[in-house]
Amino acid sequence: MRERSLLYYYGVAYLAMYVIGTAGHVDHGKSVLVEALTGIDPDRLREEKERGMTIDLGFAWLTLPSGREVSLVDVPGHERFIKNMLAGVGGVDLAMLVVAADEGVMPQTREHLAILDLLSVDRGVLVVTKSDLVEPDFLELVSTDVLELVEGTTLAGSPLVACSAVTGEGLDELRRVLDEQLEATEPKRDIGRARLPVDRSFTIAGFGTVVTGTLIDGTFEVGQEVAVLPGDVKARIRGLQHHKEQVERATPGRRTAVNLSGVAKDDVARGQVLTLPGTLTPTIVLDVRLRAIAALRKPLRHGVELTLHTGSAEVAARLLLLDRQELAAGEEGWATLRLAAPVAAVKGDRFVLRTPNDTVAGGGIVDVHPKRHRRMHEPTLAALASLAEGSPAETLLAALAPIEPASLTEIAAAAGRSLEEAVELVQELVADGRVVTLAGRSLEEEAAAGSILISADGFRALAARAVAEAERFHAARPLRRGVPREELRSRLQLDERLFAAALERWAADGLLVESEATVAVAGWEPALPAEQQRQADAYVQSLAAKPYAPPTDGAPAPDLLAYLEEAGQVVAVGDGIVFGADAYREMVEGITGRLRSEGTITLAQVRDMFGTSRRYAQALLEHLDRERVTRRVGDERVLRGG
């Protein structure tokens, strides 16, 4: 019970499918309303209680009439604490925009609404509080102002409830309306890429480091290894809690407290993201679709320095406009943000941009690892539009391009899709020839096995690289049959599974030919000039003259010797010794025949069998050991496996 009570005190244990966030001007009654609804005081800091003002994020939870449990995030309303408000509002499913009846719409009402609009929070309830302090006519007037305020924003059409946290009037109606709104709200999906933007980190005696946030895009389980990004910190999940209850598994859309082992409190801070290792790569460059707020005082210029808020992160950013010189109030455009420090974000995440004193713009992230772009470049703008606004299949294809070749799991995560959705979309792309799957099984089977997928354009480019590498090798070594298979794989920087599958396709398409561990361009045949042919013939004849003790001097140049080996005319066994192919076959057959009949053979016996010297017999036997024909046991050889 001690652990649970401590976690309750810190306000970090949550169990809810949805998260509701407050918004509104300072001293408009947000925290009092949360306490009236939940019985939990969200102001946890001594300074907050002394000043009667929310400074940082507060948390509570509530069971609605339907039995649905929800978390509440209470944000500060004062303009000086907007950055704290932004750290908590990003993960909410529904906003309560709170306006005090005795004051009406105020500056932070407008700024908070602008932030909700930029973050695309499209579910909300408009709450006019302190209804007991004004006459009905004035309450109606303020309510009308609030409804007019939200017109043209994502909260347009939201229901309005007037209430009093002091008398309790309207609170039951508010609970009912919240329930109705959440009933029509799409829950956060599990796409296998668990992310928890950290909004708080602290320690509890006896339990270690605890971090909190809203879990999105996947699940966490007790015992899992997790990564803290940005940074190079790994930890293990020691425990999980929702709403004062320990759980073994945390699911998307829920406020979650994560007890971590193997990490100190100072290693995890607000703005970082808790995720599964290998699923997310931090970035310092973002391509975005940007919209300036309607109340922007002066246009945003290309190159202006701003502050980016995304998830719980806050970082300085330089704005590079791609389709104009400046962005005026209410305008939208394409832009790149160059960040002063990395953030762990993904395509589709929403963001807000601020100056030191004002919210100025925001929008959605289109690409988290973009290439450098030319400004005012129509193909670039068209590609960004396709990435942001294309069909689901086109968006998936665009998400594949920067990471290909990739597995279905990786593609689903990059595109923000569930694995099942990704399978369906990839099937569509494969059917119309825009994606190549290098696997013999169905995509459903491959989803479990780890498929290899690449865009058709990417595969054509990869094939062109492979052919070019083979041609480069042919030009540099015209006597060789082809580039060694492993060397080509290394040059293309492909793992063995992908290389094998790709090579099979290239061979079927008539581009490359694989033969005896070498790869050549289709139609390639090495040919010796007349002088080198004479040298080769003379060398082979010299080996045949003394087949079991061939000369070790007068060997041809390495490329010519390699040519003769690939042509099957000679066999180099090591120590500078080369046998003619016929002599080599005869010696191997003699040795293996003796082993099959006698069981063992010695170096002296091999020497005597062929009337050769100890040096030649030893080199040959060691070669057969390497070729896994024989195995040495003391001073004798036996057949491998015998």
- Percent helix / strand / coil, the chain, rounded to 5: 35, 30, 35
Burial class for 342, CB neighbours closer than 10 Å (0-12, 13-18, 19+):
middle
What confidence score (pLDDT) does residue 90 get? 67
What confidence score (pLDDT) does residue 452 get? 81
Terminal C-alpha separation, the chain = 66
Contact 73, 90 (CB under 8 A): no
pLDDT at 52 over 90: no
What confidence score (pLDDT) does residue 168 get? 94
Q: Which of 572, 570, 592 is closest to 581 using CA atoms?
A: 570
What confidence score (pLDDT) does residue 85 get? 60
Q: Where are the domains of the chain?
A: 18-183, 195-275, 283-382, 390-451, 458-521, 535-639
Mean pLDDT of all residues in the chain?
A: 85
- What would the pLDDT profile of 361-409 be if each residue is shown by its tens digit? 999 998 888 888 889 888 888 888 877 877 788 888 877 877 788 888 7
What confidence score (pLDDT) does residue 555 get? 85
- What would the pLDDT profile of 71-112 be if each residue is shown by its tens digit? 888 776 445 546 666 665 667 889 999 999 999 999 889 988
- What would the pLDDT profile of 546-572 be if each residue is shown by its tens digit? 999 999 888 888 878 887 887 788 899
Which band of pLDDT confidence, cut at 50, 70 and 90, is reported for residue 1?
very low
pLDDT at 349 over 60: yes
pLDDT at 263 over 70: yes
Topology given in CATH for the domain delimited by 390-451: Arc Repressor Mutant, subunit A (1.10.10)
What confidence score (pLDDT) does residue 79 get? 52
Q: For 436, left (φ over 0), alpha (ψ -120 to 50), or beta?
A: beta
What confidence score (pLDDT) does residue 48 get? 35
What confidence score (pLDDT) does residue 83 get? 63
Considering the domain 195-275, what is its CATH architecture?
Answer: Beta Barrel (2.40)
What confidence score (pLDDT) does residue 82 get? 65
pTM given for the model: 0.66
Which band of pLDDT confidence, cut at 50, 70 and 90, is reported for residue 439?
low
What confidence score (pLDDT) does residue 15 get? 35
What confidence score (pLDDT) does residue 273 get? 93
What confidence score (pLDDT) does residue 554 get? 82
Task: Indicate the class that CATH gives domain 535-639.
Answer: mainly alpha
Q: Among the CATH numbers 3.30.1360.70, 1.10.10.10, 1.10.3720.10, 2.40.50.180, which is that of 458-521?
A: 1.10.10.10
Q: Among the CATH numbers 3.40.50.300, 3.10.20.30, 3.40.50.2020, 3.30.70.270, which is that of 18-183?
A: 3.40.50.300
Topology given in CATH for the domain delimited by 283-382: Elongation Factor Tu (Ef-tu); domain 3 (2.40.30)
Do 458-521 and 535-639 show the same overall fold? yes
* CA 421-248-422 angle, 5° bins: 10
Residue that wins the pLDDT comparison between 146 and 87: 146
Tell me how far apart the alpha carbons of residues 136 and 199 are, in angstroms, rounded to a whole number.
Answer: 40
